[in-house]
Amino acid sequence: MGNNCCNFGPDIELTLIERQRQQARIAKQKRLEKETQAAEAIQAWWRGTLVRRALLAAALRAWVIQRWWRTVTQRWAQKRTQALLRSYIIQEQAAVRLQSWVRMWQCQQRYCRVCNALCVLQAPQDCLALPSQDFFQFQYQVPSNRIQFHVEILSV
Model pLDDT for residues 49-107, shown as the tens digit of each residue? 999 999 999 999 999 999 999 999 999 999 999 999 999 999 999 999 999 999 999 99
Whole-angstrom distance, CA of residue 26 vs CA of residue 100: 108
Which among 106, 119, 116 is positioned nearest to 147, based on CA atoms?
106
Whole-angstrom distance, CA of residue 80 vs CA of residue 72: 12
Looking at the predicted structure, is the pLDDT value of residue 130 above 70? Answer: no
Looking at the predicted structure, is the pLDDT value of residue 25 above 50? Answer: yes
* Residue 139, helix vs strand vs coil: strand
Name which residue leads in pLDDT, 64 or 6: 64
Number of domains present in the structure of the chain: 1
Instruction: For residue 5, tell me if it sits in a domain.
Output: no
Instruction: For residue 4, tell me if it sits in a domain.
Output: no
Whole-angstrom distance, CA of residue 38 vs CA of residue 51: 20
Instruction: For residue 1, tell me if it sits in a domain.
Output: no
The per-residue pLDDT for 18 is 86
% residues pLDDT > 90 (the chain): 56
Contact indicator for 140, 114 with CB cutoff of 8 Å: yes
Instruction: For residue 3, tell me if it sits in a domain.
Output: no
What is the span of the domain harbouring residue 43? 10-153
